[in-house]
Amino acid sequence: MSWVTQTLSSSIGKKLVMALSGLFLCSFLIVHMSGNLQLFKHDDGLAFNVYAVFMTTNPLIKTVSYGLYALILLHAFEGLYLAKQNRQARGNQRYVVYNGKANSSWFSRSMALLGTILLVFIVVHMSNFWFEYKFGYVPYTQYEQNLVTGEVVATPFEGEIKGKMEEFVREENQTRVVIVKDLYRSVMEGFKNPILVLFYVLSMFAVSFHLVHGFKSAFQTLGINHSKYNPLLNFLGVGVFGILIPIGFALMPLYFFFKSM
């Protein structure tokens, strides 16, 4: 075994893989959040739909996204494998009385469970939108934006878009015309379903607790536990990844659900 595989298959090496892949997934959440904030824009989804085309066609982003899918799978399956191995390390006989709450938080002990919920969430989430967008049927919408006033008029587009063009732009008489796959409408329709909204909101609790422990834990694994930097890591782990990001994501389904009522 070479020193690289030997290092990565050691207990600390496996943790390193979990930490680095986990931090990459955290960085993705920031990108995902900042892009999806465009759902809140009052433009019938024009900015969001144009952004969706950019995210699915830009070669650099496409490359990174395949890396992202691979790292989600790596993080999930390495995590499940470690959880199984760690369970076996207790031995055949488990404690008759176990008082874990006396010495550790429940979510730090439930990372595998929370992670499994998140894996299920990712599968549901991707089949809801990503799969539909790429392989399913998403209707087109024609936007006419007045370049002087910024006003947007959206009308369903019934015609055929030639080739693989997902976005068709032309400018005439100070009006920008964009014909684009209307993912915004799929989001809007999808979140009329209260069960789906509930599932999304509950999953964001799982994100929160997974990251409150996971973010700081990743730095501990990288050997970064220092009184100079711990306040910043606590702020990012709890404030940003534990509270701000999950609330931001949870607001999206809630916004569309209450808007549809």
Partner 1 sequence: MNLTLKVWRQKNKKTEGKIETYQVAGISPDMSFLEMFDVLNEQLIGEGKEPIAFDHDCREGICGMCSMYINGRPHGPKGGITTCQLHMRSFSDGDTIVVEPWRAKAFPVIKDLVVDRNAFDRIQAAGGFVSVNTGNAQDANSIPIAKEDADEAFAAAACIGCGACVAACQNASAMLFVSAKVSQFALLPQGQPERKMRVERMVAQMDEEGFGSCTNTGACSAECPKEISLEHIARLNREYLGAKLTSQGV
Per CB under 8 A, residues contacting partner 1 are 2-3, 7, 10-16, 82, 85-100, 102-105, 108-109, 111, 213, 216-217, 220-226
Query: Residue 9: how many CA atoms within 13 Å on its side-chain side?
Result: 6
Tokens coding 259: 């808007």
Core vs surface per residue 18-57: b (16+ CB within 10 A) or e: bbbbbbbbbebbeebbeebebbeeebbbbbbbbbbbebbe
Of the pair 40, 106, the CB lying nearest partner 1 is at 106
Report the nearest approach of partner 1 to the CB of residue 244 (Å): 22
Q: How far is CA 215 from CA 22, 39, 76, 160, in A?
A: 8, 27, 15, 46
Sign of CA dihedral 171, 177, 180, 183: positive
Three-class SS of residue 228?
coil
Phi and psi for 250 in degrees, rounded to 5? Answer: -65, -30
d(CA 13, CA 10): 5
Give the residue from 39, 37, 38 showing the smallest Cα distance to 187: 39
CB atoms < 10 A from the CB of 164, how many? 6
Report the nearest approach of partner 1 to the CB of residue 76 (Å): 15
Report the nearest approach of partner 1 to the CB of residue 25 (Å): 17
Of the pair 3, 137, the CB lying nearest partner 1 is at 3
Of the pair 96, 261, the CB lying nearest partner 1 is at 96
Report the nearest approach of partner 1 to the CB of residue 136 (Å): 38
Of the pair 22, 45, the CB lying nearest partner 1 is at 22
d(CA 21, CA 75): 6
Of the pair 164, 226, the CB lying nearest partner 1 is at 226
Tokens coding 126: 């991707």
Q: How far, in whole angstroms, is CA 5 from its chain's centroid?
A: 30
Q: Angle CA(213)–CA(28)–CA(196) in degrees, nearest 5?
A: 80
Report the nearest approach of partner 1 to the CB of residue 12 (Å): 5
Report the nearest approach of partner 1 to the CB of residue 211 (Å): 13
Whether 202 contacts 188, CB under 8 Å: no
Of the pair 107, 257, the CB lying nearest partner 1 is at 107
Of the pair 66, 81, the CB lying nearest partner 1 is at 81
Report the nearest approach of partner 1 to the CB of residue 20 (Å): 11
